[in-house]
Amino acid sequence: MNKNLKWLVIIVATLIVGATAGSIVDQYRNTNNTLVIVAGDITLWLDGVELSKEVVITWGDTMPSYTYTKTLKVRNDANVNVKITMTTENFLTNWVQTWVVNGTTLAPLQEATGDFTLTLPVDTQAGDYFWQTIIIATEMRM
C-alpha cells in the first residue's frame, strides 16, 4: 500500500484595513502581515525572492473591489512527483484568493510560476482580518 506524504506551507495572513480620513471615496489601508511557514521538500518564491522558513508578505494599500497580484513560484525538491494544492481557512465570505498553480502536478525539480491574487469585495469594511492559506505538496507515488 502506498502512503501519501504531505508537506505544508502555511501562509497566515493578518489583513488590517482602515478607512482614510477626509477622503471623498472610502479608502482602506491594508497592512497585511502574512506569516509564511515553509516545510517539506518544496521551495517557494514570492515576486522573485526565495521565501525563508518564516517571512512576512505585505500587500500594501488596498481598496474594496480591486484585485491585487503577486507572483508565486514553487519548485518540487522531492525525488518523486508531487501535486500542489492550496486551501484557505477562516477566509471571509466574498473575498477571493487564487493561485493559478493550484492543482498542478510537478516532477522532481520542476518549477511552476503563477499569479497569486487577492480580491476584496466592494462591501469590505475597515477592520483587522485574519486567515490561513495552506499549500500542500502531496507525493504522487505510483
Q: Domain extents for the chain? A: 6-139
Around 116, how many Cα atoms within 13 Å sit in the side-chain half-sphere?
A: 21
CATH number of 6-139: 2.60.40
pLDDT tens digits along 50-62:
887 666 677 777 7
> By the 8 A CB rule, do 50 and 72 touch?
no
pLDDT band of residue 1 (cuts 50, 70, 90) is very low
pLDDT tens digits along 10-25:
555 545 454 443 333 4
